Amino acid sequence: MPYVGTLIGDKVVVFDLGQSKQLYALGYFGKPVGESKPREFKSPLELSLVEAVYLTRRQDLRVLYQGEFLDPEELASIAQERVSKFSILSLVYEDLREKGFVVRSGIKFGADFSVYTVGPGIEHAPYLVIGLDIGQEIPASELMGFGRLSHSVKKRLILALVDEKARRLKYITFKWERV
């Protein structure tokens, strides 16, 4: 039976505490509201729209909006309006999750995602991922900025290059070393 969340702004909130705990335990989905490092949490679970769309497409989550349940494509359409680069981020998120990684927001590191091989609280995320359109040009200064940041927090930088029309991704991994 799918979990139930409510669309509020650019987040989906699972208010039922039992469901929140179970959904988080399924694969570190979401983040308990107001808790930075959840161990045993006592608050609703907040999901990004990227996570919520992924979970609705897998039929693990149903999302209420204005008293009605949204189908996955209705939710994706709303997310497209509310989240910058949604289609790119959604493809990257889904691909990484399907490969078995735990994918969390990377905003505090200046990236789209922090990626774990095991999970938060068990390890530090070894990777930062930035999703880009495959045709997008990146100034060298911006690439160097990405690299400096990832190096300073001891994480590998991965650029996820997305061809939206073909729904294909290519990954480029950087490791910055002193010379």
Residues classed as catalytic? 116, 124, 155
Give dist(CA 145, CA 158) in Å, integer: 13
SS3 85: coil
- When computed from its CA atoms, the radius of gyration of the chain, rounded to whole angstroms, is 17
Give dist(CA 53, CA 58) in Å, integer: 9
Q: φ, ψ for residue 134 (rounded to 5)?
A: -60, -25
Tell me the CA end-to-end span of the chain in Å, nearest whole number.
55
Distances (CA, A) of 2 to 64, 69, 113: 12, 12, 25
